[in-house]
Amino acid sequence: MIDIFTVIVPHALMALAIWRLLPRDDLDQDPHLPVKADMFRQKRPLKAERAHPKPARTRDA
Amino acid sequence: MLNLFLTAFVAGFLGAGMKRPFLFVLAYAYIDVVGPQKVTWGFLAHVPVSLIAFACAFIGWMVADNKDGARFSPRQFVLLALLIYCGITTKLADFPVEAAEKWSWVWKALIFALFLPLTLRTKLRIEALILVMVLSVGVIVIGGGIKTLASGGGGYGELKLLVNDNTGLYEGSIISAVAICIIPLALWLARYGTIFKPSWMVTLFAWGICFACILMPIGTQARTGLICVGVLGIMMLRSTKRRMTYISLVTIAGLVAMPLLPQSFTERMSTIGNHKADQSASTRLEVWKWTIDYAKTHPFGGGFDAFRQNEVVYETVKADYAGANNAVIAKDRIVEKARAYHSSYFEMLGEQGYPGLGLWLLLHLMGVLQMEVLRRRYAKNAPDGFGWVTPLADALQQAQIVYLIGGAFVGIAFQPFCYMLVGLQCGLSGYMGRIRRTVPPPFRVARKTSAPPVLEPAM
């Protein structure tokens, strides 16, 4: 009985911790550190997009 | 049922790693500490789960993880040198078969400690690893604590933990030292955790874990654990703000606990000051003397398990008092062979010689200093969002000093849990280094001048 209790409680808490970690963005990207990859690896526009750039959207008056 | 539960848990843990690869690292840490393959006799016992988790962690890091700013710290180079050196001594070992067996798990612990800091890139990852380490040790100590409360432990080596094979963290002296190491980490989680945010329930659970940890030296009746408790108590005095309150509370707790302690525990602890009457303590001293002599002729060590060639002879002295001036002295001549070192320092000296001992000491002393620098740097006026750094550096330093003092009486020089602490320290230090580097010093500091010089235009 004691052994079952000692297995269940920490494992249940670990499972809950994993569940809470899954959706958190700061697991992989620390909010205090800059996102270097975004600075250097910005997505280049496609060739067709460069030839015919989309007009910027303007709000109707 | 337990088999199914643990198998499902491990499968779920590894499955979660498919979504967030860092969870593989946590899964490996969990498997290394708890050893679910030891607990069960079913599917897990026949599958190399530890190897699978490590392979997944490494591949996940290689393929999917951001490696910006990842670099080897000087401590990791020391660790690498220790790994290579241990590999060489294993090749030249006095007992090649036994040495190879120990090497088979030592290299994994060292490689994981080398790899761990590279993955600890965010504060949340550091916190998550600490949480998994504390809860994994909790799997062993919660049951041990309850059994100690129920039966007092039953005597030295009698406490039945979750796994009754007396290896790794399931060995009484080792768990009593490691359990004390995690107390500061559990208290840190209760105050600064974000996965389980501070609340009365979290605090209550953390105190419960700490209480179970303190019960481990009582339950296992390992003297090392009592020494570790004393060391941690003194070190916590340094970091507590209300010292007199702390001293008063500790004194009251000690006075209340004293009459409740089992008699077998107090009898065994009383042998700390009288080693001549105790066979176990006398054996240690003789083995340590043998190791010093052995290192004189084998300065580069004898490889893992070199203790197997020792033979020690000593006498135990017992005095039975029948009155104030009447004592019967009984001497016993003891001969023992192949006795383990029972000390991490002598383990390193005997197995890895002076170079190995030097590298091991350097690795740990650098850690103590590194944590001291961090705790001082952020002790006053910590930037917003970094109030947790000093308490964590403090907790990791306390855990390491408890390990180093406890390690003087237990052979835990290569205990994987302790290398996780080293990895955590390197990870914290590396993370704070990256944080500092993101705030570059100003390119040009403006001079303090009273007034700019006025130049006359050339005519």
**Does an H or E element contain B158, and which?**
none
Longest CA span, chain B: 116
Q: Does B23 touch chain A (CB under 8 A)?
A: yes
A40 pLDDT tier (thresholds 50, 70, 90): very low
**How many domains does the structure of chain B reveal?**
1
CA distances from B33 to B167, B254, B356 (A): 11, 30, 25
Quote the pLDDT of residue B143: 86
**ipTM for the whole predicted complex goes beyond 0.90:** no
Residue-wise pLDDT for B50-109, tens only, equals 889 999 999 999 988 887 777 888 999 999 999 999 999 999 999 999 999 999 989 999
Residue-wise pLDDT for B2-13, tens only, equals 788 888 999 999
Which residue in A has a C-alpha nearest to residue B202's C-alpha? A13
pTM (2 decimals)?
A: 0.84
Quote the pLDDT of residue B368: 94
B258 assigned to some structural domain? yes
How far apart (Å, rounded) are the C-alpha atoms in residues B173 and B281? 13
B340 pLDDT tier (thresholds 50, 70, 90): confident
B414 assigned to some structural domain? no
Q: Does B125 touch chain A (CB under 8 A)?
A: yes
Residue-wise pLDDT for B287-334, tens only, equals 899 999 999 999 998 999 988 988 878 777 766 666 666 767 777 777
CA distances from A17 to A14, B127, B329 (A): 5, 11, 59
Read off the pLDDT of each residue in B386-409 and give the average, rounded to a whole number: 93
How far apart (Å, rounded) are the C-alpha atoms in residues B301 and B284? 19
B182 assigned to some structural domain? yes
Q: Does B195 touch chain A (CB under 8 A)?
A: yes
Quote the pLDDT of residue B246: 85
How far apart (Å, rounded) are the C-alpha atoms in residues B218 and B210? 13
B176 assigned to some structural domain? yes
Above pLDDT 70, what percent of chain B? 87
DSSP lists the bridge partners of residue B329 as: B319
A61 pLDDT tier (thresholds 50, 70, 90): very low
Number of H helices, E strands in chain B: 16, 2
User: Which of B147, B195, B435 shows the shortest C-beta gap to A33?
Assistant: B435
The answer to whether the Cβ–Cβ distance between A6 and B142 falls below 8 Å is yes
Chain B environment of A24 (Cβ under 8 Å):
124
A-B contacts at Cβ under 8 angstroms: 109
CA distance A45 to chain B (A): 24
Quote the pLDDT of residue B125: 95
CA distance B87 to chain A (A): 34
Residue-wise pLDDT for B350-364, tens only, equals 999 999 999 999 999
**Angle of CA points B357, B363, B364, to nearest 5°:** 95
B79 assigned to some structural domain? no
The answer to whether the Cβ–Cβ distance between B20 and A2 falls below 8 Å is no
Residue type, B332: D
Q: Does B6 touch chain A (CB under 8 A)?
A: yes
Residue type, A50: R
Q: What is the mean pLDDT of chain B?
A: 85
Which of A4, A6, A9 would you mutate first to test chain B, the one with the most B CBs within 10 A?
A6
**Angle of CA points B146, B240, B400, to nearest 5°:** 65
Chain A environment of B121 (Cβ under 8 Å):
28, 30, 33
- Residue B337 tokens read as 């062979």
Q: Which domain holds residue B205?
A: 127-273
Q: Among positive and negative, which fits the CA dihedral B133, B137, B142, B145?
A: negative
B172 assigned to some structural domain? yes
* SS3 at position B392: helix
